[in-house]
Amino acid sequence: EAGVVQSPRYKIIEKKQPVAFWCNPISGHNTLYWYRQNLGQGPELLIRYENEEAVDDSQLPKDRFSAERLKGVDSTLKIQPAELGDSAVYLCASSLFGTGKETQYFGPGTRLLVL
């Protein structure tokens, strides 16, 4: 069974530039999560989707971050414009449901460096 796929794996951009990350969850998983992991910290939830609907985006900096999950499968997370403090690993995860009482399967992440 294929796991969660993310691309690109690494991205280096200059500040004020836009950047986008793509995620393909495990087939059949209706819940998709985007996390951000800063250096030396644990992952922090940015947004959670159930199918196409964003059901928790309270931690998403909406002035510069946007996300979409078209057709309830793949998802894209965008930052525009990027700031130095956005340097982090962006992790995508998926699960069958969104109860928090089940395993969330993580992709390998996209490591973003903003110069």
Partner 1 sequence: DQQVKQNSPSLSVQEGRISILNCDYTNSMFDYFLWYKKYPAEGPTFLISISSIKDKNEDGRFTVFLNKSAKHLSLHIVPSQPGDSAVYFCAASGSSNTGKLIFGQGTTLQVKP
* Interface region with partner 1, contact rule CB under 8 A, candidates 11-19, 71-79, 80-88, 95-103: 95-103
Minimum Å gap between C-beta 79 and partner 1 is 20
In the complex, minimum distance from the CB of residue 16 to partner 1, in angstroms, rounded to a whole number: 28
**Cβ nearer to partner 1, comparing 11 with 81:** 11
Is residue 41 a contact point for partner 1 (CB under 8 A)?
Answer: yes
Does position 25 bind partner 1 by CB under 8 A? no
Q: For partner 1, which is the closer residue by CB, 70 or 100?
A: 100
Sheet holding 65-68, edge to edge: 5-7, 19-24, 75-79, 65-68
Count of alpha carbons within 13 angstroms of residue 23, beta-carbon side: 31
Cβ–Cβ under 8 Å, residues 105 and 93: yes
Kindly state whether residue 97 participates in binding partner 1, applying the rule CB under 8 A. Answer: yes
Site string for partner 1, 42-61 (x = CB under 8 A): xxxx--x------xx-----
Cis peptide before 61 (omega within 30 of 0): no
Amino acid making up residue 108: P
- Classify 70 as helix, strand or coil: helix
C-beta separation of 112 from 90 below 8 A: yes
Q: Which of 69, 66, 85 is nearest to 77 (CA)?
A: 66
Report the interface residues with partner 1, using CB under 8 A. Answer: 4, 31, 33, 40-45, 48, 55-56, 91, 93, 95, 97-101, 103-109
